[in-house]
Structures are given as structure tokens and as C-alpha cells.
Structure 1
Amino acid sequence: MAGRTVRAETRSRAEDNIKKVMATIKKVQKWKKQ
């Protein structure tokens, strides 16, 4: 059970990190276009 919860936490953290990176990339792309 403990291993499963740890995997779920790492997966959710990875998704959060990906969302942050995607948001940053979008901001940079908008900034470069100006």
C-alpha cells in the first residue's frame, strides 16, 4: 500500500511540474512574439 501511494504522489507531482513547464513555455512564446 505504501509503495502505491508514493507512486501516486510522484505521478501527481510530475504532472504539476509538466503543467508549470508548459505554462512557462507559453509565456516565453508570447514574450518572444512581441
Structure 2
Amino acid sequence: EEEKFAFQRTVSRLTEMQTEDYWLGGDRSIKQV
């Protein structure tokens, strides 16, 4: 269960980062990934 929770936290963090990059850099951020 701990691994599952940690995974969800990681996904949530990555989602936040991608969203921030999207607003900062636009479509370029998505294409780089």
C-alpha cells in the first residue's frame, strides 16, 4: 500500500510539474517530454 501511495504522489507531482511547464512554456514543454 505504501508503494501505491508513493506512486500516486509521484504521478500527482509530475502532473503538477507538467501543468506548470505547460503554462510557462506552452506546447513546447509537452513536445520535449
Give the TM-score, by structure 2 length.
0.74
Aligned length: 26
Instruction: State, as a whole percentage, how many aligned pairs show the same letter.
Output: 4
Over the aligned positions, Cα root-mean-square deviation in angstroms equals 0.7
Specify which structure has the bigger relative contact order, considering alpha-carbon pairs within 8 angstroms and separated by 6 or more residues.
Answer: 2
Runs (5+) with no aligned partner, structure 1: 1-7
Runs (5+) with no aligned partner, structure 2: 27-33
- Bigger Rg, which one: 1
Runs of 4+ in 1 over 2 A off after TM superposition: none
